[in-house]
Chain A
Amino acid sequence: MSASPVLWQRRFLALVGNTLTDLTRQRVFYFALIFAFLLIASSVFMAQFSFQQEFQILKDVSLGAMSMVTSLLAVVATARLLPQDVEDRTVYTILSKPVPRFTYLLGKLGGILLLLALSTLLMTAMFFAVLYLREQTVLGETAREMASAPREELEAALRAVQQSAFNLDLVPAIATIYLKAMVLAALTLFVSTFATTNLFTVVVMVFVYFIGHLQATAREYWLHSQGGGWLAQTFLAVVALLFPDLQSFNLIDDAVAGTAIPLALFGKTVLLGLFYTIVYTLLGTVVFYGKEL
């Protein structure tokens, strides 16, 4: 019965839908979104700078806000999912149905990933709307100011404004923000399978977040100063697995600077994100299977 993919999908989707409903009823979701919207909207008031600087700041602040909010949501919203179900004993009623624990965990993860996708889409829409409005304003101002300039000069100026505003590299930058949140959600879910309280999970994840952002630098320093023997390499690989290299998911600086993001780099980042997510989900499943409910 449980082997049929159709039945499995039905159970999985029921869990995803319910988790999403649960999460969208949490205040933290709305606070986080409002906070992000305010930050993005506030970037509009950077008009005293040159348009290049203005667009750069707008992108920097907006992408930074999106990264912060999705990471925060990934940790805070995921941390309560399992402990809450165990505390309320809803996990008993769910797992006493023919629902494998793996499906249950995957359903929870699916729900949080859907929430993060929705949040990222909403923030992206807000960001692009603000960027578009500012772009149109600056284009209008430029056209007015250069009304008497030769046509080629005007077109070049308008092109410069357009290039400073929207560029396609914003899309992979936003995608990696989502990937980072996905990794954090999977890791938080894994930690929550053995944590006893939400607080413990959140505290652990705060450490992981900072170590994850610093570990690439520490690794470079270590390899540079200590050499790269197999023991050091193994140790660093273990550290890199326990504390994901979150700096790898930071393509914001390139996108803000207007530097093209190579497809190979983006592909590698996507694979890294998927690798971490799958590994943490499997680890979480192993721990959860052994958990006494």
Chain B
Amino acid sequence: MADPAVSIQGLTKVFPAPFRGTGVVAVRDLTLRVEAGEVYGLLGPNGSGKSTTLKIILGLVSPTKGRTEILGRDSREVGSRAAAGFLPENPYFYKYLTGEETLRFFGKLCALDGRVLRQRIEELLELVGLQSARDRRLATYSKGMLQRIGLAQALINNPRVLVLDEPTAGVDPAGSHDICQLILRLKQRGVTILLSSHLLAQAQEICDRVGILSAGRLLREGRLEELVAIENRMDITLENASETLLREIETAAAKAGASFIGRRKSTTTLERLFLEVVGREEKPETTERPAGEVKKKS
């Protein structure tokens, strides 16, 4: 069996709290796997342990207990980061460098040089749409541009695993949409993406699987369509169903002669699931359909 792209086993992180006796538990006994080629979303409210988990995966913070691996290599090994890229939350780069110089600097840190590095810089500036701003100092970049150059530096070493901490935080909706599209394109290229977010609609748009963290615990985890499914409710999708059939469907669907295309459980929104799991009271707008609702496919 191939190694998962990212593996977390029994991870606990306790930050010491001087003068308080006990420390602050940021992550509790967390175990999860991110398979190669998928987009995995680590969701949770502020302070739930998302960023700490990502930092431990990248060896920036040491675990109190447990182990994390990138492509089968222990995160504590520097070499495990050779195949990984990271975009921290609200990245701040050296503002005296231009976009191109920034990529060159990070490329050299990944031991790239010469023609390979120049070519990579060109590709990435094009990918993130910053060719025209390549010679501008980062001090003059907007928030969205900084996020995009941040994404480019994370990709400089052509990583197989990309770790993104709140990749769209503080970016306007258009910029945010661009970043999501970029993530989907990277997924198509086979890059595994592990991202943290509290923007649930976005996560629903791009993630294959999600894990919901609260107070350092993993409360729910799984494929998105399974997680947002509602128990005891079923959608039935019919093709070429007549008005008569629709009226009689509750009692005679099986005998009506309509083509049975498929069925699936009715879904709630990821946002609602999230709020239920982390115990929030406020109710978001629902797109849930009543039980037994029949959709007519045109």
Chain A contact residues, CB within 8 Å of chain B: 1-2, 4, 7, 10-11, 13-15, 18, 21-22, 25, 88-90, 92-100, 290, 292-293
Contacts and interface: CB of A to CB of B under 8 A. Distances in A.
Contact of A94 (B78, B97, B109, B157): B109
B108 interface: yes
Contacts of A14: 105, 108-109
A213 to B, nearest CB: 34
Contacts of B272: none
Interface stretch (B3-11, B83-91, B227-235): B83-91
A7 B60 contact: no
A89 B82 CA distance: 20
Given A89-B88, A97-B81, A292-B15, A10 B60 contact: no
A93 B106 contact: yes
A7 B110 CA distance: 8
A92 B111 contact: no
Interface string B149-175: 010011001000001000000000000
A10 B157 CA distance: 14
Nearest to A8: B111
A10 B113 contact: yes
B90 A93 contact: no
Interface in B74-105: 78-79, 81-82, 84-94, 96-97, 105
A7 B108 CA distance: 9
A18 B98 CA distance: 12
Given A14-B105, A89-B90, A293-B55, A96 B84 contact: yes
Nearest to A97: B109
A217 B55 CA distance: 48
- Most chain A CB within 10 A, of B94, B109, B110, is at B109
Given A2-B78, A92-B86, A93-B153, A10 B111 contact: yes
A8 to B, nearest CB: 8
Contacts of A90: 92-94
Interface of B: 15, 55, 58-62, 78-79, 81-82, 84-94, 96-97, 105-106, 108-111, 113, 150, 153-154, 157, 163
Contacts of A293: 55, 60-61
A38 B150 CA distance: 43
- Most chain A CB within 10 A, of B61, B88, B94, B153, is at B94
Q: Please provide the 8 A-B residue pairs with the shortest distance between their CB atoms, ordered closest to farther.
A: A14-B108, A96-B86, A7-B111, A88-B92, A92-B88, A97-B109, A98-B82, A96-B58
Contact of B93 (A15, A93, A96): A93
A139 to B, nearest CB: 47
B92 A99 contact: no
23 contacts: A7-B111, A11-B109, A11-B111, A13-B108, A18-B105, A90-B94, A92-B58, A93-B87, A93-B88, A93-B91, A95-B59, A96-B58, A96-B81, A96-B85, A96-B88, A96-B163, A97-B81, A97-B106, A97-B110, A98-B109, A98-B110, A99-B78, A292-B15
Contact of A1 (B58, B94, B111, B153): B111
Contact of B82 (A1, A18, A25): A1
Contact of A2 (B15, B79, B97): B79
A11 B111 CA distance: 6
Nearest to A95: B60
Contacts of A25: 96
Contacts of B82: 1-2, 98
Contact of A98 (B60, B79, B94): B79
B111 to A, nearest CB: 4
A92 B60 contact: yes
B96 A22 contact: yes
A18 B81 CA distance: 21
Contacts of B81: 96-98
Contacts of A13: 108
A292 B154 CA distance: 21
A2 B79 CA distance: 6
Nearest to A15: B109
B78 A10 contact: no
Given A97-B110, A98-B109, 12 more contacts: A1-B82, A10-B113, A14-B109, A15-B109, A18-B105, A22-B96, A89-B90, A90-B92, A96-B85, A98-B82, A100-B78, A293-B55
A22 to B, nearest CB: 7
A66 to B, nearest CB: 27
B60 A1 contact: no
Nearest to A9: B111
A93 B163 CA distance: 11
A1 to B, nearest CB: 5
Nearest to B95: A88
A133 to B, nearest CB: 37
Nearest to A293: B60
Contacts of A292: 15, 61-62
Nearest to B51: A92
A292 B61 CA distance: 5
- Most chain A CB within 10 A, of B90, B92, B150, B154, is at B92
